[in-house]
Amino acid sequence: MRTINSSQIEALVRDLFIDANYALPNDVEHLLREASLNETSEVCKNALCGLCDNLELSRKLDVPVCQDTGMAVVFIDLGQDVRIEGMLLDEAVNSGVRKAYEEGYLRKSVVADPLRRVNTNDNTPAIIHLRLVPGENIKITAVPKGFGSENMSRHKMFTPAASEEDILLFIVDTVLKAGSNPCPPVIVGVGIGGNFEYSAYLAKKALIRDVSERHQDVFYARLEEEALKKINMTGIGAQGFGGDITALAVNIETAPTHIAGLPVAVNMGCWVNRHKTGMI
């Protein structure tokens, strides 16, 4: 049994959220730069080049990539041979988020109540997804999720009779309805299966998968490629100006489901698809 002090978790969460807000993952940046070279619309090419310039300025000036520094989402893989001493796990995570948003000069965007709308002034509480895994390590992924894209996400409870084409249509229609709102080029996370809430979790988890990796099952890998092709035929284009590239990637995650249902969730990610992973 390995003992880890909660202060280590707190420090890692702090660093991950600052780093995630100040730089895009390499795989996302690579696709964005590739898109700026391949786009044929002059207006959209200029927009994409502007986004790439934004990344360079972020590095040069040491400022966040986007002014919406997100609601803190945290994925934790906790080794079953780990004992945490000190604060409770969620307390350590929220303390790390609090420090990140204060010390990293990140916008604090969380309200304590969904209707009365009073800001918590520290961007907590975080949304925490905890999974128990073998081993004696803690893997933490910090996801600052902006709401321009989050607001464009959709969910649908299909019947088992739904076809592959029905699901593709739903994914593409979600992007069409979103238009320029999620700051395209987007990354589209899709969760298929599970139940109502688990499909949404899968869609969120899909957004943190490396965008250069396709689903391990060739059936769903083909579905990802087909969805991306159809989305890029919509002509929405970078920042909604019309063009060839509306999405950089479509990532699908799946899970077993009930014989009577087929839940599908689409979680939209903007071009600033930020996440950072660390290990203790």
Architecture per CATH, domain 148-272, reads as: 2-Layer Sandwich (3.30)
**What pLDDT digit, counting tens, does each position of 161-171 carry?**
999 999 999 99
The pair of three-digit structure tokens given for residue 14, joined into one six-digit string: 């702090």
The pLDDT-based confidence of 42 (bands split at 50, 70, 90) is very high
**Coil/strand/helix, residue 18:** helix
pLDDT band at 54 (very low <50, low <70, confident <90, very high): very high
Query: Cα torsion for 233, 235, 239, 245, to the nearest 10°?
Result: 40
CA atoms within 13 A on the CB side of 120: 19
Instruction: Give 252's pLDDT tier (boundaries 50, 70, 90).
Output: very high
> pLDDT for 260-275, tens place per residue?
999 999 999 999 999 9
User: How far is it, in rounded angstroms, from Cα 135 to Cα 146?
Assistant: 33
Q: Where are the domains of the chain?
A: 2-20+65-145, 148-272
Assign residue 128 a region: left if phi > 0, alpha if psi is -120 to 50, beta otherwise?
beta
Return the structure tokens found at 244: 């060839």
Span 198-229, pLDDT tens digits: 999 999 999 999 999 999 999 999 999 999 99
Expressed in angstroms, the distance from the first to the final Cα of the chain is 14
Phi then psi for 159, rounded to 5 degrees? -85, 160
pTM recorded for the entire structure: 0.97
Tokens (6 digits) for 235? 């002509």
- Provide the 3-class DSSP secondary structure of residue 71: strand
Q: Where are the beta strands (DSSP E) in the chain?
A: 2-5, 71-79, 82-85, 127-133, 138-145, 154-158, 186-194, 247-257, 262-269, 276-279
